[in-house]
């Protein structure tokens, strides 16, 4: 398969292309573009988080988990990454492990049980 298209252009152009694929629900194509972009700019959270979401929606749950764990390791208070990690673990049937991340995500969002 020719993958030249996925890596063509500036980082900004590839970001826009990935967003278009994602918005069109072509999560596999979005993931292909984003994987290269994340490799190029590994310190940026936005592309990595969208890559994790693309993996999640295309049922590549182990890959989604790996990306989300990296984000949470770098930024423990990244609320959405915590939420997505919890949801990803739930889809894998790892409910106890998911509950911890979901509780932290709720607390970070200011949603406290019993208040």
The pLDDT assigned to 112 comes to: 65
pLDDT of 115? 40
Judge contact between 17 and 9, C-beta under 8 A.
yes
Q: How far apart are the C-alpha atoms of 56 and 98, rounded to whole Å? A: 15
| pLDDT score of 66 | 98
pLDDT in tens, 60-112: 999 999 999 999 999 999 999 999 999 999 999 999 999 999 999 999 888 76
Prediction pTM value: 0.88
Q: Is the pLDDT of residue 19 over 60?
A: yes
């Amino acid at each position: 398969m020719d993958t030249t298209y996925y890596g063509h252009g500036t980082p900004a152009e590839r970001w826009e292309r990935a967003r278009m694929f994602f918005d069109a629900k072509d999560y596999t194509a979005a993931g292909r573009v984003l994987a290269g972009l994340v490799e190029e700019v590994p310190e940026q959270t936005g592309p990595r988080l969208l890559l994790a979401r693309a993996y999640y929606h295309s049922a590549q749950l182990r890959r989604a988990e790996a990306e989300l764990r990296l984000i949470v390791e770098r930024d423990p208070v990244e609320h959405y990454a915590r939420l997505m990690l919890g949801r990803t673990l739930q889809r894998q049937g790892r409910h106890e492990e998911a509950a911890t991340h979901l509780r932290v995500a709720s607390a970070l969002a200011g949603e406290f049980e019993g208040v």
